[in-house]
Amino acid sequence: MLHHLKKGLKSLFSCHILCIGMLILNTSCNETKKKSTEVSSITSQKPNILILLTDQWRAQATGYAGDPNIKTPNLDRLASESINFSNAVSGTPVCTPYRAALLTGQLPLTTGIFMNDIQLNPDALTMAEIFGEHDYDTGYIGKWHLDGHGRLQNVPTGERRQGFEFWNGNECTHDYNNSVYYDNENPNRKIWEQYDTFDQTDAALHYINDRKEIDNPFLMVVSYGTPHGPYHTAPKAYRDRFDPENIILRPNVPEKSKKRAKKELSGYYAHIAAIDDMIGKITEELKANGQWDNTMILFSSDHGDLLGSHGELKKQQPYDESIRVPMLLKMPAHANLKPSINKTVVNSEDILPTLLGLTNIAIPSTIEGTDYSTSIKNNEDVDNAALIRSIQPFGSWNRNRGGREYRGLRTPRYTYTRDLNGPWLLFDNQEDPYQENNLIGNKDYATIQSELETKLSQRLKANKDEFLPGSEYIKKWGYTVDKTGTVPYTE
**297 and 179 fall within a common domain:** yes
**441 and 304 fall within a common domain:** no
Report the domain count for the chain. Answer: 2
Amino acid 36: pLDDT? 35
Residue 317 placed within a domain: yes
**223 and 363 fall within a common domain:** yes
Amino acid 32: pLDDT? 34
DSSP per position, 63-99:
TTTT-TT---HHHHHHHHTSEEETT-B-SS-SHHHHH
**181 and 278 fall within a common domain:** yes
Residue 29 placed within a domain: no
Residue 28 placed within a domain: no
**132 and 231 fall within a common domain:** yes
The H or E element spanning position 199 is: helix 196-210
Sheet holding 83-85, edge to edge: 190-191, 180-183, 166-170, 137-143, 218-227, 48-55, 295-301, 327-330, 83-85, 340-342
Amino acid 45: pLDDT? 78
**342 and 438 fall within a common domain:** no
Amino acid 39: pLDDT? 35
Amino acid 275: pLDDT? 98
Amino acid 26: pLDDT? 38
Average per-residue pLDDT in the chain?
92
pTM for this predicted structure: 0.91
**CATH number of the CATH domain containing 459:** 3.30.1120.10
Picking from 350, 384, 418, the residue at the C-terminal end of a domain is: 384
> What is the three-class DSSP state of 187?
coil
**CATH number of the CATH domain containing 78:** 3.40.720.10
**195 and 217 fall within a common domain:** yes
**413 and 311 fall within a common domain:** no
**444 and 367 fall within a common domain:** no
Query: What range does the domain containing 435 cover?
Result: 387-477
Residue 301 placed within a domain: yes
Q: Tell me the one-letter amino acid at 158.
A: G
> What DSSP state is assigned to residue 166?
E
Residue 484 placed within a domain: no
Amino acid 297: pLDDT? 98
Amino acid 451: pLDDT? 98
**402 and 438 fall within a common domain:** yes
What does the chain come to in residues?
491
Amino acid 389: pLDDT? 98
Residue 105 placed within a domain: yes
- Residues in the chain predicted with pLDDT less than 70, given as ranges, are 1-44
Residue 328 placed within a domain: yes
**374 and 397 fall within a common domain:** no
Amino acid 212: pLDDT? 87
Instruction: Please choose, from the candidates 489, 423, 482, the residue with its C-alpha nearest in 3D space to the C-alpha of residue 456.
Output: 423
pLDDT tens digit string along 308-365?
999 999 999 999 999 999 999 999 999 999 999 999 999 999 999 999 999 999 999 9
Residue 489 placed within a domain: no
**264 and 190 fall within a common domain:** yes
Picking from 351, 384, 417, the residue at the C-terminal end of a domain is: 384
Catalytic machinery residues? 95, 145
Picking from 365, 384, 403, the residue at the C-terminal end of a domain is: 384
